[in-house]
Amino acid sequence: MGGAASLGLAIGASSSASGRRRIRSPIRRAAPSDHAAIACFLDEALGQPAAAALRASIQDPFYEPRDRLLLRRGGRIIAHVHLTHRVMQFGRRQIPVAGLDGLAIAPSCRSQGLGAHLLAAAEQQMARSGALLGLLRTSVPHFFRRSGWAFCGPPDAWIAGTHAVLSRLLDRGLRPSRQPRLHIRPWRRWEERGLMRVYNQNLPGSYGPVERTRAYWRWLLERHAFDQLYVALDGPNLWDLEEQNTQIVGYMAVRGGRILELMTTPRRAKPAVELLARACGDAIEQDRHAIVLCAPARSPLVRIFGEAAGWRQPPEADDGQVTMARLLDPVALLKRLGEEFCGRAAAAGLPRPLELGLLVEGRKYQVEVSRAGARSLANHMGRSYLRLNVADFTRLVLGQLDWATALGDGRVVPSTALARHAGQVLFPPLPLWCPPLDDPAA
């Protein structure tokens, strides 16, 4: 998962029968001795080699064999799912999240409700682990939608012609220099700390990136889910182990003409432009006529792609994969966001104390904001509230709700004008972005 987990799903078309069938096979947690059998099972269920992906996941520093749930019949594995655990940055707060990956059912056992049965057990295990939010990536969103998972925003991938992007960079003043201050080159093994520093400088105030410890960074780099990793150096191109004379001010991971992650030190625009130019140069050498940028919608580089007549890549271009989320403990998550609510209310000049209720398919929640702080309650609602479904509730909390469309379609119904205004202030659109480099499928 890392922010959003990739999902290899093989469940058959008739899993909707899950709610009407009693599954007698007990769900067991995996042990280290099960890894070989799991690899063979995934090869068969997914129709593709799984040993490399399994080996990479086992090396994840946060990995525990018990986070794999198995169904067996006659001693043979017939269903599998893997849960991952991360800490996501969400504005000024951090949120424990769980990813769901590798949900698969044996071909001979499909259409028996096993997929929904295992998914329900996985959701319970996520909640018991302390995760407040579940995330996954899938090409079969209809299956998860029935269990309360919500589609959360289009993919943040932007595509444009390579020459058009370079032309826009030249128009913006990009010119080669005989003695450049910035140097762009492939990273070296001892520069891991520089990458960590640049990444951590971008974490505060972001929505979606996960916490990366040094062990986790080492795993990401050793997994090598990229063709090339470049660094931007401010100063001479030296073999500087401690960054005493040359400092890393940006980095970029690229795979097959796709920029998976590009980050620079805050308020430094030139390193990002230089790194993008290097990616375009590589693409031209490889005879690639288009380049893809994975970045949040508010990234300055996205504007360059727009000026180059670029467009947002549709989900079907990314193997049909979409990101979905599920609130595992809505009240606890709302409580975690109390500081965010206070800041938003104060910035908008909302009168306080303020109470906003949420009526979600019969369930009641209430957010109370005062000058002393905020609190969230279950089974309370008040006079000013929003009525909405589970999917829109999920998008509301994560800042992925299209307010104009939801109100216009009648999917979100405010009981009062105050409820409508307060809802849009407390739950504004947010640039949620989970870097693809953290995706288990990378």
Determine the Cα–Cα distance for residues 89 and 82; give it in Å rounded to an integer.
Answer: 22
Asked if residues 219 and 437 have their Cβ atoms less than 8 Å apart, the reply is: no
pTM for the complete prediction? 0.89
Would 440 be classed as within a structural domain?
no
Determine the Cα–Cα distance for residues 45 and 417; give it in Å rounded to an integer.
Answer: 52
Are 348 and 203 in a shared domain? no
Determine the Cα–Cα distance for residues 249 and 264; give it in Å rounded to an integer.
Answer: 6
Are 309 and 371 in a shared domain? no
Are 40 and 107 in a shared domain? yes
State the Rg of the chain over Cα. Answer: 23
The pLDDT, as a whole number, for residue 315 is 64
CATH number, domain at 400?
3.30.1050.10
Would 352 be classed as within a structural domain?
yes
Q: What is the pLDDT along the chain (442 residues), one digit of tens a residue?
A: 433 333 334 433 333 434 445 666 789 999 999 999 999 999 999 887 888 889 999 999 999 999 999 999 988 999 999 999 999 999 999 999 999 999 999 999 988 899 999 999 999 999 999 999 999 998 889 999 999 999 986 678 999 999 999 999 988 877 665 556 788 999 998 899 999 999 999 999 999 999 999 999 999 999 989 999 999 998 766 655 566 556 899 999 999 999 999 999 998 889 999 999 999 999 999 999 999 999 988 899 999 999 999 998 876 555 668 899 999 999 999 999 999 999 999 999 999 999 999 999 999 999 999 999 999 999 999 999 999 999 999 999 999 999 999 999 999 999 999 999 999 999 999 999 999 999 877 6
Are 255 and 172 in a shared domain? yes
Are 136 and 42 in a shared domain? yes
Residue for token digits 């590798």? 102
The pLDDT, as a whole number, for residue 21 is 58
Are 166 and 229 in a shared domain? yes
What is the phi/psi pair of residue 107, to 5°?
A: -50, -35
Asked if residues 395 and 427 have their Cβ atoms less than 8 Å apart, the reply is: no
* Displacement of CA 406 from its chain's centroid (Å): 23
Cα→Cα distances 300→46, 162, 163, 202, Å: 39, 17, 19, 14
The pLDDT, as a whole number, for residue 127 is 97
How many CA atoms lie within 13 Å of 344's alpha carbon, on the beta-carbon side?
Answer: 23
Specify the DSSP element, H or E, that contains 209. strand 207-210
Peptide bond into 141 cis (omega under 30): no
Are 170 and 131 in a shared domain? no
205: left (phi over 0), alpha (psi -120 to 50) or beta: left
Given 284, 313, 342, which residue is the final one in a domain? 313
Torsion 419-424-426-432 (CA) sign: positive
Are 209 and 337 in a shared domain? no
149: left (phi over 0), alpha (psi -120 to 50) or beta: beta
Would 308 be classed as within a structural domain?
yes
CB neighbours of residue 407 within 10 Å: 17
Cα→Cα distances 271→174, 182, 234, Å: 11, 7, 9
Asked if residues 328 and 188 have their Cβ atoms less than 8 Å apart, the reply is: no
CATH number, domain at 188?
3.40.630.30
Are 292 and 172 in a shared domain? yes
Given 298, 326, 354, which residue is the final one in a domain? 326
Would 205 be classed as within a structural domain?
yes
Would 142 be classed as within a structural domain?
yes
The pLDDT, as a whole number, for residue 51 is 84
Specify the DSSP element, H or E, that contains 162. helix 162-171
Are 296 and 165 in a shared domain? yes
Would 354 be classed as within a structural domain?
yes
Would 442 be classed as within a structural domain?
no
The pLDDT, as a whole number, for residue 321 is 82
Determine the Cα–Cα distance for residues 384 and 356; give it in Å rounded to an integer.
Answer: 6
Q: Which of 430, 95, 442, 98 is nearest to 296 (CA)?
A: 430
Extract the tokens encoding 25: 């096979």
Would 10 be classed as within a structural domain?
no
Cα→Cα distances 366→94, 255, 258, 264, Å: 22, 45, 43, 39
Are 144 and 167 in a shared domain? no
Three-state DSSP at 62 gives: coil
How many domains are there within the chain? 3
Cα→Cα distances 64→29, 32, 84, Å: 10, 9, 9
Q: Which domain holds residue 272?
A: 157-313
Given 281, 313, 345, which residue is the final one in a domain? 313
Q: Which of 84, 78, 123, 122 is nearest to 104 (CA)?
A: 78
The pLDDT, as a whole number, for residue 181 is 77
Are 107 and 134 in a shared domain? yes
